[in-house]
Each structure stands twice: as structure tokens, then as C-alpha cells.
A and B are shown apart, each in its own frame.
Chain A
């Protein structure tokens, strides 16, 4: 399954151009289980890219881990989820030098979260490569309670923190790495439109 194509939307909605090898540049790669596939495709387009890459797999299956291992990256690390991966990402970024390329692959939640960490560390957006693979679930922030609900697949959805019913906007904050969710029945409490699956 190649890079997901999303329907055209507003300017704040990120787009993902797909991974392209930056050659001999030092690389940091972060991917989830589905995104690991994109790393394999990247390596098959340019095997040498792995010689300079630290790979961090988030919540990946053992089998996936094994497949990446065979690509012989310079470093390979695993973490069960994004929260657990965050300190290591910080560490890799703090040691990184100008010219480092960041490759992100997988869900929008993962890419949003890690690119927010990276731009915060001084990496410009243009140095970040992203490829969407797997679920189109979104990482949503409730504009009311600020709580983040992961893996949202329906619109509207229920905020996992304050319980309000939120509609899914395409408005995206790169700083926070989240889409915005806004109360759907604020004006007419209880009048909630039919739930639909989020589409790409």
C-alpha cells in the first residue's frame, strides 16, 4: 500500500509527499508498524540511506522489527508507544547536527507528534520527510478541555477526557501535532448529527 492520497483541503491540513532518500545525510527515522513498510521501500530505492540512519519503531510487531533489522540501519530502537518513544526522540534531536534528515512514516498522529518535537528542536519543516501509511485515524485535540484523543476514526466522536461530542475539523496545529475537535451540539445540546467514518 503506497503513500495515502488525501482529498484536497484547507491550507492548515498537512500533506505528505512521501519519503525520498537524502543520500549520505545523517538520518533519524521514526515509524509505526504500517509506516515501517515505507522505510523498506525507501531502503530499496537507496540501500545506503540506512548506513546513516537511526531508526525508531513505535508499537511495531516483532516481525516488523526483524525486517528493519535486515536493512542494517546504523541504529535500531523500539518503543511500545509514542509517550515511551518521546525521550529518545528528544535525545536523538538534541545530538543532531545541521544537515540531519528526519523521515517519518505511518499514522498522522505519529507524524504530527514527532514533527512537532522536531520543529521545536530547531529542525525546519522542509527537513522533515513524511509518508502516510496505514490507518487514517486522527489525533484530535478537544478545543474545550485541551485533552487529546488518539486514533479517532469517526466524525463526530466523543472526547475521551471531557465527554463532549466533537466534530472533526481539518484545521491542524503543527506545533501540537493535532487536529481540532469542536463541540458539535454547542448551540443545540443533544442534537448530534449521524456518525460517519472519517475518510482520507
Chain B
């Protein structure tokens, strides 16, 4: 994959847990522009390990002067976001991928309803700019626990169609009221915790919304877990996956060729055939169906882990 070597030009604390980072070309060159909802994958080298997390771009999609992301510090994660928060300084070099989009707006829609929970606001920040430039009708609802935690407040413009729901203040997001009575041709997009995504899908289904009008993106990074071992079928090599490493990262560190894109269990690119499984795959992705999970014949190495005696992959 073609990578971009960029320079960290700004770091801003948006809330106690969320920082905004801006990256620019060190020579001032233009970066590839992108579409609303796109993400980049950021490389975070620490000792011998390279972690890679994907983050939604929050800057103006048509502005190639720089890329911006917002990173929430997850202290129980693999350490990627902690690295971003504690190790990265303005002026540092940072390697990122070109933008890719797994959460694009359906530009046919008569109206767009954007529903964000917490840090799930990030993909909507670039989408809002795109909707503004395309002059499309929309409404955005942003739910957060408290004003202090609501990092998005500093990034959202003041606009009539942007609604803030702070649960601590008793202003919860009423999905029924939001989705009921929307005009034909409306599309709804949700980004946030799994619970919110599921609640929106359920509500939309109750109201008779067609599934193709309901979009979502879970913004999870790979979870840490118990260390485990995996066997690469072609070479017979055993690769150890550390507690704070994803299976994909461990395979990459062992120089095993494997394709990827989102690194968040959403795009399907790293899907890998399982040739032997004595134990249980801990599926953490959003790609495989329930039936596929149960079969244990395929795994998404970017997100999923394993517990048991032997796991062999067709790599």
C-alpha cells in the first residue's frame, strides 16, 4: 500500500480524553482529497511493535492541505490511543495510509439523518462539510454523557439542524421521535457504541424503514486480550500474538503477507480462511454473519482473537 509520511503540525486537547491531531505534508504538498466519512490508518511504532489504528478524518474533505483526526484515549485498549496521547508531539513524523471510505453518504438521499454517540461524532464532521458543499438537507443528533466529555462540541458548527443531547442534563436522544415521519428517500447513518447502532436499527425496522436506508459504522479499535498462538499454514511457522497486539499486527510483525483496509472489522479485506481450529475464535468484527462465526472456518485477523489449543490459518 502507498503510505504517506506526514508531519504532526497541531495537537489540541478537546476534552479530558480526546485530542485532535493535524498532519501535513512536510514539504507543504497537497494530500489526496477524500469523501465524507473516510478514514486513514495511522502507524504507531513502539519498540518492535507497529500498531495500526484507523481513524475517521474530521477535516474538510476537499482540503488537501492537511488531515485531522480526533483520538479518544482508551486506557483499556491495546495501547494505540494511549501512544497517540502520550508519545506523539508536534513536529513528529507520522506514517498514514491514503484515505479510504467504508461509511460514505448515499448522495441519492432526499435527506440525511446523522446520529452520533460519543466519539462516534468523528466521521460526521467531514460528512457535514460535504453535505454543506453539496447543499443537501440533513439533521445531525449528537449524544454525549456530559458537556465536559463531549469533544465534538468544539468541532461542530452552530447550525439549526445540529442537535445536542447531553444525557447528564436529561436530554436523551429519542430515536422514535427522530426517525418517525421522515420523508421518503431519507437515509439514516449511525456511528457510536454497538448499543446505539442496534437501537437505531431496531427502531428503523419497527417503523418499516428499508434496510438499505440504514447505515452504520462502529468505530472500535481491536481489543486487547489474552496472548495466543497461531500457525501459518504455508510455512508452518507459529506466531505469538501478545496481549496488547492484534492478530493482524502480529502477522505483520512476522512478515506474513496479508491484505487489509479498515483494521476495524468492517471492510472484509483481511478475511482469512481457518484450516484448523481446536478451541474458540473470539469474533470481534462486524463483517461475518452469525452463521459464519459459528462455523469457525473464517476469521477477521484485524479484530478477532482466539482461545484454545490450536488455530491454523490459510496464509
Residues of chain A whose beta carbon lies under 8 Å from any beta carbon of chain B? 22, 25-26, 93-94, 96-101, 121-124, 126-127
Q: Which residues of B contact A97 (CB under 8 A)?
A: 181-184
Q: Which residues of A contact B208 (CB under 8 A)?
A: 22, 25-26, 98-101, 127
Among listed B60-68, B73-81, B209-217, B250-258, interface-contacting one:
B209-217
Contact A96 B210 (CB under 8 A): no
Contact B212 A121 (CB under 8 A): no
Does B155 sit within 8 A of A, measured CB to CB? Answer: no
Shortest CB-to-CB span from B167 to chain A, Å, is 26
Q: Which residues of B contact A26 (CB under 8 A)?
A: 208
Contact B211 A98 (CB under 8 A): no
Q: Which residues of B contact A93 (CB under 8 A)?
A: 184
Shortest CB-to-CB span from A87 to chain B, Å, is 17
Given contacts A99-B208, A99-B209, A100-B208, A123 and B183 within 8 Å (CB-CB): no
Given contacts A98-B207, A99-B207, A123 and B212 within 8 Å (CB-CB): no
Majority SS of interface residues in chain B? loop
Contact A127 B181 (CB under 8 A): no
Contact B212 A98 (CB under 8 A): no
Supply 7 further A-B pairs (C-beta < 8 A) apart from A93-B184, A94-B184: A100-B208, A122-B108, A122-B109, A122-B110, A122-B185, A122-B186, A123-B210
Q: Which residue of B lies closest to A127 (CB)?
A: B210
Q: Which residue of B lies closest to A23 (CB)?
A: B208
State in angstroms the CA–CA spacing of A97 and B211 once bound together. 15
Does B11 sit within 8 A of A, measured CB to CB? Answer: no
Q: Which residue of B lies closest to A101 (CB)?
A: B208
Q: Which residues of A contact B211 (CB under 8 A)?
A: 126
Shortest CB-to-CB span from B234 to chain A, Å, is 36
Contact B184 A122 (CB under 8 A): yes
The digit string for B211-227, where 1 denotes a CB below 8 A from any CB of A, is 11100000000000000
Q: Which residues of B contact A100 (CB under 8 A)?
A: 184, 208
Q: Which residues of B contact A22 (CB under 8 A)?
A: 208
Q: Which residue of A lies closest to B206 (CB)?
A: A99
State in angstroms the CA–CA spacing of A82 and B108 once bound together. 26
Q: Which residues of A contact B209 (CB under 8 A)?
A: 98-99
State in angstroms the CA–CA spacing of A25 and B184 once bound together. 13
